[in-house]
Structure 1
Amino acid sequence: MSDKNLLLIGKLMQTTFALRRKEVISDESPVDEILERWPALKIESQICAEFHRISNTNLKNSFYADLDQHPPRFLSLFRKKAARTGKIAEVLSEIFRIYDLQEQVDVHVRRAAVLRALPAYLHEDDSGFLKQWDMSQSDEPNIDDEPVGLLLISANSTDATFFCPERIAVVLEGNMVIDLPTFADAFVMLFALIYALHLSYPKALANTFDFTQKVLMGLEDGKLKPRVLSLKNAILAVE
C-alpha cells in the first residue's frame, strides 16, 4: 500500500472516529462486523493511530520505552523465582532453559522472554492465550475457539522458534486480524486492538494486561492489584 493511500486512510479514519466509537461502545457490534466496516483497523499504522486517538498516548514509544528500560531487572527477578520450587518455578525454568539455548540474544529475544515470563511470574496461565501453528503439520491453525490471543506461526516449531517464530498473528474471535514479525510487536498490537474494539482483557491474564496498561504504558487509574503492585515495586527496587 502506498504512502499516499495510507495518508488518505488516516484522514478518513480521523474524520469518522466519533462514529466508529459509537458503533464500538454503544452499539456493541461484533468484532468481525467492526473490522469488516473499518478494515483499516487491520493495518499496523492505523491501529497505532486509533490507540492514540483514544488514549492520547504513543503506543509503541510508551510500551518499548519502559519495556526496554528494565530487561535485566525483569530477567533477574524472573530467574530468582525460577530457582524456587513449585509449578510457577517450573514454567519459568523452562522458559529460561530455552532462552539460554538461543544462539543470538538480541532485543527482540529479550523482549519476548520478558513477555513470555510475565504471566507466570504474576501467577497466570497463558496456555489458552498462546497457540502454535506448525505449518509443516497442518494447513490451517486451530483457533476457532480463540476469543483473544496470539498465534505463533512457523514452518517447523523448535526451541529456536519459541521466542522468535516466523510470524505472530493477533487473533480475535477466531480470526487472524494482523500478523507481525516479532512477539513484542504482536503483543502490543493486540493490546491496542483491545482498546480500539472495547474488548475485555483475557480473564486468565488479567494481571498481565493490568501490568501492561498501568505500568508499562503508564495508563494508571491509581489502583494496582497486589501482584501487579508488587512487581512494579520490585522492578523499581532491583539494581
Structure 2
Amino acid sequence: MAKSEKNKILIEKLMQTTFSLRRREIVQEDPSVKDIMERWPALQMEAQVYAEFHRITNINLRNQFYSELDRHIPRLLAIYRQKAGRTGKVSEALRNILQLYDQQIPDIDIKRTTALWALSAYLCEGDPDFYKTWNAEERDEPDITDTPVALVMMVTENTSEMVPFTPDSFSIAVEDSMMMMSIPTFSDAFTLIFGLMYALHSADPCKLTNTFTFIQKVVMGLDDGKTLKPRLLGLKNDLLQ
C-alpha cells in the first residue's frame, strides 16, 4: 500500500486471504479506526470497501444499492412532494430540497442525491456533524474534530444551500480522520460510508439511525431480524403501493 503504483491484484489476493483474521480482530477486539487503518490500510481503497462488503454479505454493494435506489426514486420523489405540500418543519425542509432539485438538470446523479438527501428530512432526522461543508479557500483542512463519521462536501466558492448538488468533490471522515477523498458524487460517498460501517463493524450515525436502517433493510434487503419502526414501515409500505 505504500507504493505509488499499487499492485491491485496482489492487494485483492492478500485481503481475501486475511479476511477471516481481519474480521476476528475487528469484531472481537473492537480496535479504533486508526488502529484498523494502520493494520489494514487497503480498507482506504474504494475497491476494497466494496470487496470487503461482498466478503461479509455476499452482495455487490454498488450494483445492489444503485439498482434498488434507482427503482425507488420515482416513488420516493412523489412521496416527498406529497409531504412537502403539507405544513410543518418536515414539509418545509422537503420543500426547500425539492425547490433546489427543480433548479437542476435532473440527470441520474441529481435524482440520487435528492432521494438520499431528502430521506433524512422525511424521516425527521438531521445531523449537522454528518453533513459537513469544507470551503478549501477558507481553510486548509476540514473541521472534523469529534466526528464519528461524516460526509464532507468540498467547495471552492461561497457556501450555499445547493452544496449537495454543486460541490467540487466529496470526502469521508471517520473518527476524526480523513479516510477517502475526491469522491465524485454524493451517492458514491453515501454508498461508501454504508460499506465502511460494515467493513469497520461500526454503529450507524446515532442521529441518522432510521436513514441508515432504511438503506440497510429496504434498499439493500439486509435483514438483521429486527422489525421496522412504524415510521420506516410506513415509508416502505408507501413505496410498495
Which TM-score bucket, shorter chain as reference? over 0.9
- What root-mean-square deviation, in Å, do the aligned CA atoms of Structure 1 and Structure 2 show? 1.4
Amino acid at match of 1:182: T
Identical amino acids, percent of aligned pairs: 49
1:137, 1:95 → 2: CA distance? 26
Counterpart residue number, 1:181 = 184
What is the DSSP-based 3-state SS (H/G/I as helix, E as strand, rest coil) of the residue aligned with 1:142? coil
Deviation at 1:158, TM superposition (A): 3.5
Structure 1 residue 162: Cα displacement: 2.8
Within the candidate set 33, 56, 59, 1:57 is matched to 59
Q: Kindly provide the amino acid, as one letter, of the partner of residue 211 in structure 1.
A: F
2:164/2:186 contact within 8 Å kept: no
Q: Distance in 2 between matches of 1:26 and 1:126?
A: 29
SS at 1:84 equivalent = coil
Matches of 1:10 and 1:63 in 2, distance apart? 22
Say whether 1:234 aligns with 2:238. Answer: yes
Whole-Å Cα distance in 2 between the matches of residues 12 and 221 of structure 1?
29
TM-score by length of 2: 0.93
1-structure distance, mates of 2:163, 2:204: 26
1:220 is aligned to 2:223: yes
Task: Give the equivalent residue in structure 1 for 2:18.
Answer: 16
| SS of match in other structure, 1:51 | helix
Question: d(CA) in 1 for partners of 2:128 and 2:100?
Answer: 17
Unaligned runs of 5+ in 1: none
Q: After superposing the two structures, state which structure 1 stretch, 187-196 or 219-228, moved more.
A: 219-228
- Number of equivalent positions: 235
Opposite residue 230 of structure 2, the aligned amino acid is: P
Instruction: Measure how far apart 1:160 and its partner are.
Output: 4.7
Question: 1:115-158: per-residue Cα shift (whole Å, max 9, x none)?
Answer: 00001111111322100001122222111121112001111134
Amino acid at match of 1:162: P
Residue matched to 1:75: 77
Partner AA of 1:214 in structure 2: K
Q: Matched residue of 1:70: which SS? A: helix
Q: CA deviation at 1:37?
A: 1.2
For 2:197 and 2:216, how far apart are their aligned partners in 1? 11
- The Cα shift of 1:159 comes to 4.7
